[in-house]
């Protein structure tokens, strides 16, 4: 490691100060050129003039910055003042000099040794410092006649409130003490403003309607306070107030009426403005006469009264005042109007000449300014080389790079403007060449000049495009970093959504499995019941076969006693019904009503009616019998199966 002597150190410090002072002068030159460009342009077009601004960074260092557009903000709005200074990368200062934005980047300081700008300086006006929304507001104890309000913990988050209804004048107050009265509520909230009405509930809350809307904001200040009646510590004498916006029909009606009134006033104001700016109606045109004709003829010769006289002449012609007697007078007036054409053409040519001269002056001034901008950008690029770049601090390097980018942007904008002017001139020249093809030598010279200028412009445009591509590459790198972070976040969200969807599908599958098992058990039960019914039918058929055999054997044994008798069972359907009813009543030994029996049979065949079943059972007295059961109102007729007893008797 080499050791530096005292003279070497002092020489390095001097060189460092000289380089930075040169950069400061370059910055001042940029501001001077911007003012000249604004004056040359007449404050028009897409010019972005710079304005040097002195400000103080958050770390207390004094610095210099440039404004990309003239500030025209009302100084009475502190939020607009703070936003504008933040956009200009300045730490806004309050009246006492404290920073208005606590999270301002301290690395944006630029030049030292310059006093800070404050709103108390002449020409800026006094701007009160706004209160940050995150800053806790210290609340104090409020003493009333019959109660005391204790403030909430300032470290706790502010109480939540609902969205404010339009025209809200009513608040909801909850958390009142159980022993609180309407007089105590009035005593606490009358400090916020005039109270119109109070609706108190038995459940420790009430609604208060104030006279004006701003009083609601004062009442919301009391939200979170703990109220205590007197000096009592009983729970019924204490409570925590919760004040919130309330939606009331009266407030909404008054707000709508006010809005309608404002709309009417606005319509009336617009109508008055339209009437005020409406052009006055033209004066009535006099009727034609020889005297008026002579007056109009004299006015037509005067340049200042020409437009009025022409309007009168036009009206007379449209009215049909031209006849054989007055034709000569009208012809002389038309001839006077025609004499003004040459004057108008000369005026137009003079104006066009003045416009061309102004364009030429503007183009020359713009070209000179662009040359100086090129020199300034060259200074920035030379300062950015490693030979000089290593001697600057980090903050100074950042400031130099910012200045360089701003100067390049302004240079590109102005260069585009100059190229547009030159393209317009070339288009006009090409039109003139098409119109006047008789000057080949002049055309060749102009073509060579235009080619050289076009080559120069192409060279400049290519160089500017390279600079623009470099800036775009840097921006793309930054955006790719942001996109990668955003993609990670989106992938995590998609995974969470897929997991939730899988969980929902698993739950749905479990439900379907439970339903499938339940259906299977029901199907097994139905199959068992079907098997039992089939067995019962087989038993009934066997019994019928036995009965038929017994009857045949009896007829064969007693052929003399056979007489044509009518059987109670007339068809196979009735036999099946008898078998099913017998089986059903055998399962119910205490009998069953005819309605119960029919409801069971109608499950098998819906065409079965009660009267048919009852007549069939009444014919078979040896198989079924009817008994009365119950006492009084519960008296009921029931049918029982007595086939086994009847078989024994027969």
Q: Model confidence over 620-649: pLDDT tens digits? A: 888 888 888 877 777 888 888 888 876 666
The residue that leads in pLDDT, 318 or 139, is: 318
Residue 486 pLDDT grade (very low, low, confident, very high; cuts 50, 70, 90): confident
The 10 Å Cβ neighbour count of residue 403 is: 24
For the segment 239-290, what is each residue's pLDDT rounded down to a tens digit?
A: 999 999 999 999 999 999 999 999 999 999 999 999 888 887 777 888 888 8
Burial class (CB in 10 A: 0-12, 13-18, 19+), 29: middle
Task: Compute how many other C-beta atoms are within 10 angstroms of the C-beta atom of residue 100.
Answer: 20
Confidence of residue 356 (pLDDT cuts 50, 70, 90): confident
pLDDT exceeds cutoff 70 at 129: no
Which tops the pLDDT comparison, 642 or 121?
Answer: 642
For 179-303, where are the E strands, in sequence order?
Answer: 195-200, 205-210, 226-229, 238-240, 242-245
Helices then strands, counting H and E runs in the chain, come out as 16, 12
What token pair was written down for 517?
């098992």
- The per-residue pLDDT for 186 is 92
Least confident of 53-62, 166-175, 342-351: 53-62
Q: Which backbone phi and psi does 515 adopt, to 5 degrees?
A: -65, -40
pLDDT of residue 266: 95
Residue where the block lists tokens 């109009």: 296
126-130: Cβ within 8 A, 24+ apart: 126/95, 127/75, 127/76, 127/78, 127/81, 127/94, 127/95, 128/78, 128/94, 128/95, 129/78, 129/94, 129/95, 129/96, 129/98, 129/100, 130/78, 130/79, 130/82, 130/100
Residue 217's pLDDT band (cuts 50, 70, 90)? very high
Question: Which pLDDT score is estimated for 174?
Answer: 94
The pLDDT mean for the chain works out to 76
The pair of structure tokens assigned to 624 is 């079924």
* Percent of the chain at pLDDT exceeding 90: 16
Contact 209, 236 (CB under 8 A): no
Task: Supply the pLDDT for residue 96.
Answer: 40
Query: Parallel, antiparallel, or unpaired for β 51-56 and 62-67?
Result: antiparallel
In the predicted model, is pLDDT for residue 65 greater than 90? no
Asked if 77 and 86 touch (Cβ cutoff 8 Å), the reply is no
User: Of 105, 103, 104, 124, which Cα lies nearest the Cα of 53?
Assistant: 124
DSSP 612-642: HHHHHHHH-TTTEEEEEESSGGG-EEEEEE-
- Which residue in 403, 308, 296 sits closest to 31, CA to CA? 403
Distance CA 520, CA 468 (A): 75
CA quadruple 454, 460, 464, 466: dihedral positive or negative?
positive
> Once rounded to an integer, what is the mean pLDDT over residues 326-344?
87
Tell me what pLDDT residue 263 has: 95
């Amino acid at each position: 490691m080499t050791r530096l002597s005292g003279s070497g150190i002092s020489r390095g410090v001097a060189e460092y100060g000289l380089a930075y002072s040169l950069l400061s002068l370059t910055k001042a030159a940029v501001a001077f050129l911007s003012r000249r460009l604004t004056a040359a342009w007449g404050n028009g077009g897409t010019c972005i003039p710079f304005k040097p601004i002195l400000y103080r960074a958050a770390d207390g260092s004094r610095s210099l910055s440039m404004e990309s557009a003239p500030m025209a903000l009302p100084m009475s709005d502190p939020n607009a003042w703070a936003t504008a200074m933040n956009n200009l990368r300045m730490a806004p200062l309050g009246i006492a000099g404290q920073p208005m934005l606590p999270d301002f980047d301290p690395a944006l300081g630029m030049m030292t040794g310059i006093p800070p700008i404050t709103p108390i300086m002449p020409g800026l006006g006094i701007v009160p410092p706004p209160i940050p929304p995150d800053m806790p507001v210290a609340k104090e104890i409020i003493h009333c006649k019959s109660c005391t309000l204790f403030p909430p913990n300032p470290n706790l988050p502010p109480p939540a409130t609902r969205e404010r209804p339009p025209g809200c004048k009513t608040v909801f107050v909850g958390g009142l003490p159980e022993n609180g009265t309407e007089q105590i509520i009035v005593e606490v909230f009358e400090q916020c403003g005039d109270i119109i009405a109070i609706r108190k509930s038995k459940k420790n809350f009430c609604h208060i309607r104030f006279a004006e809307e701003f009083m609601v904001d004062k009442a919301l200040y009391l939200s979170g306070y703990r109220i205590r009646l007197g000096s009592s510590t009983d729970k019924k004498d204490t409570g925590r107030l919760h004040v919130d916006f309330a939606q009331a029909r009266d407030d909404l009606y008054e707000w709508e009426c006010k809005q309608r009134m404002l709309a009417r006033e606005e319509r009336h104001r617009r109508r008055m403005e339209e009437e005020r700016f409406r052009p006055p109606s033209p004066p009535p045109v006099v009727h034609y006469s020889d005297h008026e004709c002579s007056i109009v003829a004299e006015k037509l010769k005067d340049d200042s009264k020409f437009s009025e006289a022409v309007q009168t002449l036009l009206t007379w012609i449209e009215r049909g005042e031209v006849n054989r007697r007055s034709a000569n007078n009208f012809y002389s007036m038309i001839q006077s109007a025609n004499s003004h054409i040459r004057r108008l053409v000369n005026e137009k040519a003079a104006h066009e000449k003045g416009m061309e001269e102004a364009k030429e002056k503007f183009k020359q001034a713009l070209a000179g300014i662009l040359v100086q901008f090129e020199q300034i950008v060259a200074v920035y690029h030379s300062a950015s080389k490693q030979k000089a770049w290593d001697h600057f601090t980090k903050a100074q390097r950042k400031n130099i790079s910012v200045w360089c980018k701003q100067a390049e942007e302004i240079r590109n904008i102005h260069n585009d403007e100059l190229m547009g002017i030159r393209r317009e001139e070339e288009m006009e020249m090409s039109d003139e060449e098409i119109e006047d093809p008789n000057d080949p030598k002049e055309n060749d010279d102009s073509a060579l000049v235009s080619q050289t200028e076009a080559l120069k412009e192409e060279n400049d445009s290519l160089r500017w495009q390279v600079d623009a591509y470099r800036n775009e590459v840097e921006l793309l790198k930054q955006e790719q970093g942001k996109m990668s972070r955003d993609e990670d976040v989106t992938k995590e969200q998609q995974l969470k959504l897929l997991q939730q969807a899988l969980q929902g599908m698993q739950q749905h599958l479990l439900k379907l499995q439970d339903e499938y098992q339940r259906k299977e058990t029901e199907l097994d039960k139905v199959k068992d019941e079907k098997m039992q019914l089939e067995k019962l039918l087989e038993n009934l058929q066997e019994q019928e076969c036995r009965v038929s055999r017994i009857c045949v054997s009896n007829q064969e044994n007693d052929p003399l006693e056979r007489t044509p008798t009518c059987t109670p069972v007339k068809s196979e359907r009735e036999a099946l019904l008898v078998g099913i009813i017998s089986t059903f009543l055998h399962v119910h030994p205490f009998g069953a009503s005819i309605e119960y029996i029919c409801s069971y049979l109608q499950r098998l065949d819906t065409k079965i009616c009660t009267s048919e079943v009852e007549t069939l059972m009444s014919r078979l007295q040896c198989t079924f019998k009817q008994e009365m059961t119950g006492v009084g109102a519960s008296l009921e007729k029931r049918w029982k199966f007595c086939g086994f007893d009847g078989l024994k008797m027969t």
